[in-house]
Amino acid sequence: MDNTTAKVSCFARAYHFENNNTHIFADSMAKKILGDDFNQIAKSMILFSTKNIL
């Protein structure tokens, strides 16, 4: 998967599936689909959010 928008959307589904008790759309495969990209996107999200806070 080379589409950045698709990857970030998939990341959001995986993140919310793992971290929310209420599931609007339960996507249990999203993290598996992303593979190693999940951790890379997570790191990028953290860096982006901390830059905008400071």
Determine the pLDDT at residue 46.
82
- Work out the end-to-end distance of the chain between its first and last CA atoms, rounded to an integer number of angstroms: 33
Determine the pLDDT at residue 52.
58
Determine the pLDDT at residue 25.
83
Model-wide pTM > 0.85: no
Q: Estimate to the nearest angstrom the gap between the alpha carbon of 4 and the chain centroid.
A: 11
CA distances from 24 to 6, 17, 19 (A): 19, 9, 13
Instruction: Say how far apart CA 3 and CA 52 lie, in whole Å.
Output: 24
Q: What is the pLDDT of residues 1-53, one digit of tens each?
A: 589 999 999 999 999 999 988 888 889 999 999 999 999 999 988 877 776 55
Domain total in the chain: 1
Give me the domain span that covers residue 37.
4-53
